[in-house]
Structure 1
Amino acid sequence: MKYQTKRKALILLADGTIFYGKAVGDQEGTAIGEVCFNTGMTGYQEIFTDPSYYGQLMVTTNAHIGNYGGNNGETESDTVKISGLICKNFSYTYSRTRVDESLEAFLKNNNLFAISDVDTRALVAYIRDQGAMNAIISTDVDNIPDLQKQLEAVPNMNGLELASKVSTKEAYTFGDENAPIKVAALDLGIKKNILRNMAKRDMYVKVFPYDTSLEVMKEFEPDGFFLSNGPGDPEPLHGVIEVAKEIINENLPLFGICLGHQIIALANGIGTFKMHHGHRGINHPVINKVTGKGEITSQNHGFSVDYDQAITNKDISVTHFHLNDKTVMGLEMKDKNCFSVQYHPEAGPGPNDATYLFDEFIKRMRPEGKIGA
């Protein structure tokens, strides 16, 4: 459906900068969050439903969004997790064989406010230069002072604990209960495709709320433990960090992805920090220092592990680096059965460059093995 007259809309950044656009469809509304951008050419539905994006306004750098519609099997969680969408050209017309609804219908069904006709190249360049910051998008273009007041009341992402907002409230299982390997996963914002990758490798996974104790998870009698991806600052997750320490001290197999990777670093006394504008996209180059191989990876994180503290920690080996900025992409404990990566092996943009990590996890639960391809 084409809308002849679109409502005016704007993006107001925390530093007072304003970009203008139009509301998608017949929407009228306001949304607030940390503004960030993703450089992926595809995968918009996966992005919108990824719990790691909770509380963020997503700017898509691809010029056309919506042109292949929506598919119910391509969601990473049960609901949309971003706060709002900002794009250049929104496609009301879509073409694809495997489609369940238009992206416009998907947004309406999930009450997601979106604006288009934005100069996203200028906006992304501004975020890249000035850094990620809070912002508000709205059709209330004539009431900027009120929008500024709303924006000022929003807490900064630095120091913000968000895993509790997206974690399951009740434990649940995924996969074949007769599978030979059992995994206890702590849900900090877990993506469905992580569970799919484990299940297809004969892992039976029980997903626990983020604040579950090790004692409770042990009742499942798992062969290994997993710390998932998720949103927000890892440092406020004191209970999760303590659980990670307990798992490490007992030398139980432990694998972490993204936020889980940062938790493992913190459990080893390695600090984390908020990045200038983060890594979000599906073409991030990573070098595996153990194998010497490069990997094309999918990433989504606004916090990172401290490089200097990681390379000087006597208990840790840094196994992976980002080739663009040398940030820490992988860790392995030297004398414990514990490893982690910052990127998302389940997303597979390579497409299979990093899926070996799930097989590595199996080796460690079997029980020996080191990181390798």
Structure 2
Amino acid sequence: MSSDVLLRAEGVGKRYARPSQPWDALVRGVLGRPEPLGEWALRDISLAVSRGESVGVLGRNGAGKSTLLGCLSGAYRPTAGRVHVNGTVAAVLQLSGTFRSDLSARENLSVYFAASGLWGRQARAALDEAEAFAEIGKYFDMPVFSYSSGMLARAAFAGAISLHSDLMIIDEVLSVGDLAFRRKSAQAFQRLREQGRSFLLVSQNPASLLRSCGRGMVLDKGRLAYDGDMIGAAEAYAQIRAQWEAGRRHGAMALGPARTPSADGLHIEQVDHGTVGTGAAGAMEIAVTVAGGRAADRIEAVLNVSHARGVLVTRVHAVGEMRSDGRAELVFRLANRLVDGAYSAELLIASGHASARVSGGIRIDVATGSSAKGMIDLGLDVQPLIEDTDRRRSPPR
């Protein structure tokens, strides 16, 4: 790898383990069988980041942005492909995700700096710099479980800034900070850019990346849809968003209001929907934003879709990971198209510390004008049997 290239990804893909029942895991452990994998969250990603380069990554919820960050920063092991690093890398998502909740920010950052090769006077200087930048006062020496999501983001970003790494990977987690902290972070970005540092910034807001990045990438459905200048990336992202919105307006599905009960703080924050493919013929997709979790917690969810008559039609699984702001995006893709009619959905979500259930609060109304009958459109072209009178066989003698 060239000395000018800090990071290179070659054909990187990631599949999460499919949720299963506890007894399934026990049987696999006894028989030595591997854990079943779900759909690809990330597929065939190849990219390179050079020294002094600022790269922006755009993508809607569920596009694979956080999974990409995890693979590039070393937080996740790619299912396929390889990641090469030629320098030091600091990732805000990775850093906050590895904070132990029973330790303070000072103690967590001490461990992080030691793992990054800082010891003695260098580590103490970095801790002092991080404490001053975070501006969370006495909480810097209090357990992390007492932090708000904004305080956790401040501590994580302060630690990443203080490490003075060659490449910084920054998630949209900074959006949880207040205006003053975001301005302070932008000024820190500018200083580091002038020093020749490299950045990989991830967001859903093109305007914020246009001010900071000269190169842009767009992720869509786990694949790299664009890689070029930042203006072109913003335009490509706008087209993807427009197609998504068109699918919501003219697609095959409409969602009713969803109640958002919670348990131990975990709850459904937003339910969105659309179609994958062209028009009403595309597969159905439901995107769910879950909030109230703990950073880096693995989250598993099951969506049960039933017909109005109470018959279970399909069950879809999704797996994700909580970001530093305590949120996660899960995308459920219904492989079987539903025929016209009314349906209800039950959503079950669980993380390492909490669980929640939405039962009967999500309504799906399908109206495509299709002539298919029943509950699931299999896409089969069945023609009626027509008897050919000219070739009617004579009755046996």
Q: What TM-score do you get using the length of structure 1 for normalisation?
A: 0.30
Structure number with the higher strand fraction is 2
State the structure with bigger RCO (CA 8 A, min sep 6), 1 or 2. 2
Q: What TM-score do you get using the length of structure 2 for normalisation?
A: 0.28
Q: Kindly name which structure, 1 or 2, has the bigger radius of gyration based on alpha carbons.
A: 2
